[in-house]
Amino acid sequence: MTAIHLAPLHVPFARRRQTWAIATWLSFPFVSIVAFLLILVWPRLTLLALGYVVFILVDKSPFHGGRPSQWVRRLAFWRWLRDYFPVELVATTQLDPKKNYLFGYHPHGIVSIGAVTNFGTEANEFSKLFPGISLRLLTLNLHFFIPFWRDLLLSLGVASVGKGCIDNILSKGPGSSCMIVVGGSAEVFLAVPGTYDLVLSGRYGFVRVALKNGASLVPVFSFGENDCWDQVQKPKGTFVRFVQDAFKKLSQLTVPVANGRGFFNYDIGLLPRRRRIVSIVGAPIDCPKTPSPSEELVHEYHQKYIEGLKALYEQYKDQYAPDRKKEFTVI
C-alpha cells in the first residue's frame, strides 16, 4: 500500500492562498450550478433566475468574442493560481500587431491550465509580451450555458470555438486574434505525465479557417501541462470507459479518472500537483488569404504547422522536460 504523505500544519500563508485559488477555479462550474438551482427554488428569486435564463439564451457575446474586462483579467487571484504550479509564459519572437493570428495550444492536458492562466488572464502579462495583440481563448459552447461560470469566462474574453465566432474575431481588425486548444477533448485521455501525444492528424479545420482569413498560425507548446495529475487508463470495453464515452458523446466533454493531491496530503485527491508549466509561443506561420483553399494548400500549411510545433519541442525539451518518458508524437 502506498504511503500517504501529509502536508505539514505550518505552511506559509502564500501557499495556502495558492491552494485555495486553484480549488476555487476548478470547483466554480459546479458551485455555479448549485447556486443557481438554490436561487431558482427560492420563491422570492425565481423570477430573477428565469429572467437570467432568458438572458443566457439571447446573449450573443460568446459568439462575438466575449466581453473582456481588464479589471477581471488582472485580478490578484490569477497570480495566486499561477504561482501554485507555477505557470510561465515564454515568447520566442515578437508578433506584428498589424496582423491577425490563430494560436494553437498543445497539449490539452486535463483542463488546459496553461492556456487559461497565460492567455485567458494577465497573470503573466500577455499584453506586455505581445503589445497590440487582442487574444480570445476559445472553448466549447456548453460552457456558456452554465450560469455565473459563463459570465466569468466572458469577462476573461473567452468565447465560442465555433467557426462563425472565429471569423468574427479575425475580421475585427489588426491584432484581433484567437487561440484554439487543437487536440480538444480527444486529447484528455492522453494526458499522462511525462508524455506528449498530440491529436493533430486529420485536424485541418483550424488551418483552413486561418487560410480563409489570412491569419498567421502560431504554435504554442506547453511543457508540464500533462504532469499535474496521474490518470487511470480505462481501455475500450470497460464499464468506466463506456460511461466516459457516452458522456463525451452527449456533452462533448471528457471526464477522466484522475488523481492528484488533496488539501492536506500530497498523494490522493482531485487537486493538481504542483508541477511547473511553461508555455512556449513559437514563430508565426504566415498564411496567404485564400477564400476557398484547396485541400493541397490546407495540407501544406498543416504540415508547416506541425513542423513549427515540433521544432519548439526539440529546442526546449531538455530544458523543460528532462524527465520525459516519451518523445513528441502526432496521433
pLDDT for 68-120, tens place per residue?
Answer: 999 999 999 999 999 999 999 999 999 999 999 999 999 999 999 999 999 99
For residue 38 the three cell numbers come to 438554490
The answer to whether residue 8 is domain-embedded is no
- In this model, does residue 237 exceed pLDDT 80? no
The answer to whether residue 269 is domain-embedded is yes
pTM: 0.94
The answer to whether residue 201 is domain-embedded is yes
The answer to whether residue 3 is domain-embedded is no
The answer to whether residue 7 is domain-embedded is no
| Residue 155: closest CA among 59, 62, 22 | 62
**Which positions ≥6 away from 260 have C-beta within 8 Å?**
228, 229, 230, 269, 270, 271, 272, 273
pLDDT at residue 186 in the model: 85
Percent of the chain with pLDDT over 90: 82
pLDDT at residue 267 in the model: 87
Q: Are 179 and 246 in contact (CB under 8 A)?
A: no
Q: Whole domain around residue 298: which residue ranges?
A: 13-330
At 272, the pLDDT band (50, 70, 90 cuts) reads very high
For residues 241-264, average pLDDT: 74
Q: Please say whether the dihedral angle defined by the alpha carbons of residues 246, 248, 254 and 255, taken in this order, is positive or negative.
A: negative
- In this model, does residue 261 exceed pLDDT 60? yes
pLDDT at residue 103 in the model: 98
- In this model, does residue 234 exceed pLDDT 80? no
Q: How many domains does the chain have?
A: 1
pLDDT for 280-311, tens place per residue?
Answer: 999 999 999 999 999 999 999 999 999 999 99
For residues 242-268, average pLDDT: 76
The answer to whether residue 5 is domain-embedded is no
Q: Are 273 and 83 in contact (CB under 8 A)?
A: no
pLDDT for 125-160, tens place per residue?
Answer: 999 999 999 999 999 999 999 999 999 999 999 999
pLDDT at residue 235 in the model: 62
Integer Cα distance of 120 and 112 in angstroms: 11
The answer to whether residue 74 is domain-embedded is yes
Integer Cα distance of 101 and 217 in angstroms: 6
| Residue 66: closest CA among 178, 184, 180 | 178
Helices (H), the chain: 13-41, 46-58, 70-73, 76-84, 113-119, 126-129, 149-155, 163-170, 205-213, 239-251, 295-320
